[in-house]
Amino acid sequence: MRISRQIEAEIGSRLARMRLSRNVTQTMLASDAGIGVRTLRRLEAGESSTLDTFLRVALALDLGDAILGAIPTGNIRPIERVSRIGFERKRARPQSEEDRQPTWTWGDNADD
């Protein structure tokens, strides 16, 4: 099983448990989220779903802050910001083969 399928299954299971712990039926949650009951059942079963569907259900369960809290903001620390004025990243660049290879391996030291 691919790792993404495992995560989808776990997310679906957690959403179902959250819904049940709040004593909300699938019909009620689907209505609050603006989706169909069958779509909610597929999501809770861990089947493929869209990000929009997931977010609608999460927001209907009032989990928006928890989702945002799980993803780092990627902000630069203030001291780094001062030292990088004018050099902040605007986009990522592909790594060259040289960048991907480790520069040190075991046994490279003369003392080994």
Cα–Cα separations (whole angstroms), residue 82 to 70, 74, 77, 85, 86? 27, 16, 9, 6, 9
Mean per-residue pLDDT, 25-52:
96
CATH architecture of 3-70: Orthogonal Bundle (1.10)
Q: Band of the pLDDT at 106, cuts 50, 70, 90?
A: low
Percent of the chain with pLDDT over 90: 54
Q: Band of the pLDDT at 89, cuts 50, 70, 90?
A: low
Percent of the chain with pLDDT over 70: 71
Question: In angstroms, rounded to a whole number, what is the distance separating the alpha carbons of residues 54 and 13?
Answer: 12
What confidence score (pLDDT) does residue 109 get? 57
